[in-house]
Amino acid sequence: MSMKYKGRGNVREYIMEMYQIASKLKALKIELSEDLLVLMVLILLPAHFNQFKVSYNCQREKWTLNKLISHCVQEEERLKQDKTESAHLASASKDKGKKRKHENEAAKGPAQKKQQKDSDGCFFCNKPGHVKKNCTKYHAWRAKKGLPELLKAK
């Protein structure tokens, strides 16, 4: 009886499944009252039903399982309507009078970008003329650390 409603499917199916489990327990001579079943369903509802749970607890009237189902379905519909779609907008500040490196790269083709990366130099030792995977200092450092050797590019 510790199954939680995870928001998949609808809440009516979840409550009916709980009811079926309770009826199977009744066949095994373990009877759960309807009030207890209603409370268990409410307890196992997810956090976005918290406002609904509070409103149930504030009233004196106890619901039947059918009334709980109808109220839960209404609440589920209300939550779906309240859920708003959102998109995140990102913008970049414009540097006055400065050209960005990536703006220049966008105008170049892929072959020119590769040449520019090679001319920038090694990311490990910061010396121009080679890249990190061909750097002798990098391979010596990996060997010192006990890391496996990389395949060197030609």
Cα–Cα dist 102/113, whole Å: 10
Give the total number of structural domains in the chain. 2
Full domain range(s) for residue 22: 11-82
Instruction: For residue 8, give the amino acid letter.
Output: R
pLDDT single digits (tens) 73-122:
888 888 888 776 666 677 766 665 555 555 555 555 555 555 555 557 88
23 and 78 in a single domain? The answer is yes
15 and 68 in a single domain? The answer is yes
Cβ pair 123, 132 in contact under 8 A: yes
24 and 74 in a single domain? The answer is yes
128 and 68 in a single domain? The answer is no
115 and 68 in a single domain? The answer is no
pTM value is 0.47
119 and 56 in a single domain? The answer is no
Using the CB atoms, write b or e for 60-83: b if 16+ within 10 Å. eeebebeebbeebeebbeeeeeee
25 and 63 in a single domain? The answer is yes
Could you report how far apart the first and last alpha carbons of the chain are, in Å?
63
